[in-house]
Amino acid sequence: MEHADHVNLLQGGIPKPGGVWADFGSGSGAFTLALAQLIGPTGEIYSIDRDEGALRQQERILLDRFPTYLSSNLHFCVADFTHPLDLPLLDGAVMANALHFQRKKDDVVQLIHGYLCPGGRLILVEYNVDRGNFWVPYPISFENWEKIARRNGFADTLLLATRPSRFLKEIYSAVSLKP
């Protein structure tokens, strides 16, 4: 996928520029870049991943690509998002291609729900299947994501976009809203 694809998958879930957002399991930062473009330099981003090297690379790319961002608006956190984190209340969270590594999803979804302020949004990007493979062990179809989100306190879940995938049928994005 290209940067424009990442932006298109997220944009329907981001109502306006600004706010405090986190990217959980940000990896190489492809979706962090898209998030930065969509919320703009008045926004604040917490990029969370266990790979310190990937986060350092993200920081260089983000500040090079978006020089109007203040480094104080970007926070790179070397951490495992499956454990409680010290974060401010978030207006939104992105979890792109990260939840499918968790067999038991409820604990992680509850943690993220707890970080969100009322009206906060969780944008999930995931493969639209329920059977995985070695590289994507526990994907979640949109139908099952709706159930997981509702079970963990989200009021509404909306399908935002889909894209064909050469690996597992298609990839989708959805936004789930905290009441």
Report yes or no: 163 and 5 within 8 Å, Cβ to Cβ.
Answer: yes
For residue 1, what pLDDT is reported? 84
- Residue 14 CB coordination number (10 Å): 25
Q: What is the mean pLDDT of residues 86-103?
A: 95
Instruction: Please tell me the distance from the alpha carbon of residue 11 to that of residue 47, in angstroms, as a whole number.
Output: 18
Q: Looking at the predicted structure, is the pLDDT value of residue 111 above 90?
A: yes
With a pLDDT cut of 90, the percent of the chain lying above it is 80
| CB count in 10 Å sphere of residue 103 | 7
> What pLDDT is attached to residue 72?
75
Q: What is the pLDDT of residue 127?
A: 93
State how far Cα 13 lies from the chain centre.
Answer: 11
At 65 the pLDDT is: 87
CATH number of the domain enclosing 49: 3.40.50.150
The mean per-residue pLDDT over the stretch 100-111 comes to 94
Confidence tier at 169 by pLDDT (50, 70, 90)? confident
pLDDT the model gives residue 117: 98
Look at the chain and report how many structural domains it folds into: 1
Entry field: residues in the chain: 179
Q: Are 176 and 109 within 8 A, CB to CB?
A: no
Instruction: Give mean pLDDT, residues 101-122.
Output: 96
Question: Residue 167's domain spans which residues?
Answer: 3-177
pLDDT digits (tens, 9 = 90+) for 2-38: 999 999 999 999 999 999 999 999 999 999 999 999 9
Give pLDDT tens digits for 46-80.
999 999 999 999 999 988 888 877 777 899 999 99
